[in-house]
Structure 1
Amino acid sequence: MLNLIRNELLKIFKRPGTYVMIGLLIFIIVVMGGIIKYQDSKSTAPDNQNWKQGLQTDINESKKQLQQMGDKIPDSQKVYFERDIAIKEYQIKHNISPNQDYDGWEFVNSASNIIQFAGLFTIIVAAGIVASEFNWGTIKLLLIRPIARSRLLVAKYLTVLIFALLMLVILFAFSSILGFILFGTPETAIPYLKYYDGKVTEQSMFFHLINYYGLQSITMLILATMAFMISAVFRNSSLAIGLSIFLMFTGGQITSLLAAKFEWAKYILFANTDLMQYFDGMPMVEGMTLGFSIIMLIVYFVIFQLLAHYVFNKRDVAA
């Protein structure tokens, strides 16, 4: 298996396009850092004198709105107010000012928006890793060897996961280096305030960002798996790339529109890919839980893999 994965990685990194994608990812990070640095140089330092009074005013206003709306308030809005109040009360109690200078950790957090580009590049690799073998006719050379087709397909999929992990590591590492060069480190370690199940807890920014990047990459991995399945089933990399990219940019919005009217929308893939909704927001459909979304993701993953393996194992490539 290791030799198969090594061979697949060699194929990927022999292509100039792979280095172009890595170069584009780094270029986007640099451009983003330059823009934020320019904007930061034009801004003034935050006022840190009366921040407690300001937070208390916001808390009182939020509580007043909750009381006025009563039972008519939607659950999503109620959770938003409760989370906002709880975090601000925690900041006042533990003397954690919300007014902090922009630092390297903040830039790493901002750079998480670039995960979509890492996902785009991963989809391109996933869409071509099987289909290209058929297009170039090299699939026959692979299958004449005494290797089970399922094992070959698993090796290709693991190669896609390794490439996805590499893109995430490059994004996180380079944004960290650039962020601390441009914006420096915070004078005091400011924790991330995590609100979950009605409680506020402190978490180091490093571990928060590791978790955040991991959760944000789930959509990328699921769409790469879908592109891999389409590549294996239809032997068409263009279809796999086009459909996966279309769903990556529009799937969430379409699902949100459906979720506003239909409860069955919770079974749609894109209602469950954003697990951050359970930690920093509100589930897309009322009644959804973290466990439910994990189960749905596993179901979709198994379906994609079964389709890919079934068709790939049954396909006749003798012609």
Structure 2
Amino acid sequence: MTTLLRQEMFKLRHQNITWITVGFNLIVMTLFAVLTKLKPTWFDANNEVAMGFSGTLFLVFFLIGVASTIVAAEFQYGTIKALLYRKYYRGQVFASKVVTLLVYSIINYIIIFGYTMVLKLILFGNVDLTAKIGKTTIIGQLGLNLLGSFVGLWLILALVLLIANLFKTSSAAITIGILSYFAASILQVVQSFAIQKWNWLKWNPLNMLNAGAQIKDSTLHSFTKLSLTAITTGSIVYTLIFLLIGYYIFKKRNV
């Protein structure tokens, strides 16, 4: 398993999208920070720091690409055969990919948090991180925003990993993954009306996609009809279910 993890990390380091993701997010953050500095009437410095200068704005799209590629590319180029011939269990192979993606996503969030602090120090020395914003502090809201984004992101990535197992090319998996993300976003609006009529629908996975937003803003419970604990737990449970289904497909797939 350790060898598999090292191999997955090596492959990830040598993919262009790995570094493009980090670089693009840093550029976006720098752009928002500079605009906030130059146009304080357009952007509020406290809010921008609390939002991590929108560092997570495009992260989901890049990680959908990474998640799709990390599975589909093995079948596209036939490298999965080499792994299985070395007597690794399919469960180990799939788990190594999930762990690698988890580590990479965590690294991205750490970078976003760290670079937010750097930009705050350089451009917004007058911003007090302990100042109140909403019901918490600026630094507290930043933490909630990143945590909420992470929880919501992983529900999507688990679904993308499941979908990626159904395709033989990474490009097809990426396309379907992104389309599924947009489709889920649209259906979220539709299902909110259905929940008002049929309360039991609040337990559907589309509603759980709101977990991240509700962690950031607790008032959304009136929209989701679930407490913060319930929707967060539900999101994690569905994430695990999608990962298990993805593993089952991976296990049964012909090579």
Tell me if the contact between 2:154 and 2:239 (Cα under 8 Å) persists in the aligned partners: no
Amino acid at match of 1:293: I
| Aligned residue among 275, 282, 289 for 2:220 | 282
Q: Does 1:136 align with 2:69?
A: no
| Aligned residue among 267, 277, 292 for 2:230 | 292
Distance in 2, Cα, partners of 1:27 & 1:177: 13
SS of the counterpart of 1:19? helix
Tell me if the contact between 1:259 and 1:284 (Cα under 8 Å) persists in the aligned partners: no
Q: Give the Å deviation of 1:280.
A: 3.2
Deviations, residues 128-151 of structure 1 (Å, cap 9, x unaligned): 111101111111111111221101
Distance in 2, Cα, partners of 1:293 & 1:265: 13
Tell me if the contact between 1:107 and 1:176 (Cα under 8 Å) persists in the aligned partners: no
Task: Decide which structure has greater helix share.
Answer: 2
Tell me if the contact between 1:252 and 1:271 (Cα under 8 Å) persists in the aligned partners: no
RMSD: 2.6
Equivalent in the alignment of 2:245? 307
Q: Give the Å deviation of 1:162.
A: 0.9
Amino acid at match of 1:225: A
SS of the counterpart of 2:57? helix
Amino acid at match of 1:228: L
Equivalent in the alignment of 1:270? 206
Deviations, residues 81-113 of structure 1 (Å, cap 9, x unaligned): xxxxxxxxxxxxxxxxxxxx955x543223364
Q: Percent identity?
A: 25
Distance in 2, Cα, partners of 1:222 & 1:149: 22
Which 10-residue stretch deviates more, 268-277 or 130-139? 268-277
Q: Does 1:163 align with 2:104?
A: yes
Q: How many residues align?
A: 250
Deviations, residues 232-289 of structure 1 (Å, cap 9, x unaligned): 2333433432233234345334322331244354233232233342643222646422
Provide runs of 4+ in structure 1 moved above 4 Å: none
Equivalent in the alignment of 1:107? 48
Q: Does 1:237 align with 2:170?
A: yes
CA separation of 1:247 and 1:35: change in aligned 2, threshold 3 A:
farther
Distance in 2, Cα, partners of 1:179 & 1:231: 38
SS of the counterpart of 1:146? coil
Q: Does 1:172 align with 2:113?
A: yes
Distance in 2, Cα, partners of 1:130 & 1:253: 26
CA separation of 1:307 and 1:4: change in aligned 2, threshold 3 A:
same
Q: Give the Å deviation of 1:223.
A: 1.0
Deviations, residues 107-132 of structure 1 (Å, cap 9, x unaligned): 32233643131221111111011110
Tell me if the contact between 2:68 and 2:164 (Cα under 8 Å) persists in the aligned partners: yes
Question: Where do 5+ consecutive residues of structure 1 fail to align?
Answer: 45-100, 195-202
Deviations, residues 136-190 of structure 1 (Å, cap 9, x unaligned): 1111111111221101110111101111111111212112211221121436841
Which 10-residue stretch deviates more, 2-11 or 105-114? 105-114
Q: Give the Å deviation of 1:300.
A: 1.9
Distance in 2, Cα, partners of 1:181 & 1:102: 16
Amino acid at match of 1:2: T
Tell me if the contact between 2:156 and 2:181 (Cα under 8 Å) persists in the aligned partners: yes
Amino acid at match of 1:231: A
Distance in 1, Cα, partners of 2:65 & 2:181: 13
Amino acid at match of 2:49: V
- 1:1-319 alignment, distance < 5 Å: 1-40=1-40, 43=41, 103=45, 106-111=47-52, 113-186=54-127, 189-194=130-135, 203-262=136-195, 263=198, 264-275=200-211, 276-277=213-214, 279-283=217-221, 285=223, 287-317=225-255
Question: Where do 5+ consecutive residues of structure 2 fail to align?
Answer: none
Distance in 2, Cα, partners of 1:168 & 1:10: 20
CA separation of 1:170 and 1:236: change in aligned 2, threshold 3 A:
same
SS of the counterpart of 1:141? helix
Which 10-residue stretch deviates more, 241-250 or 149-158? 241-250
Distance in 2, Cα, partners of 1:13 & 1:19: 8
CA separation of 1:130 and 1:285: change in aligned 2, threshold 3 A:
same
Tell me if the contact between 1:150 and 1:313 (Cα under 8 Å) persists in the aligned partners: yes
SS of the counterpart of 1:316? coil
Amino acid at match of 2:250: F
Tell me if the contact between 1:116 and 1:220 (Cα under 8 Å) persists in the aligned partners: no
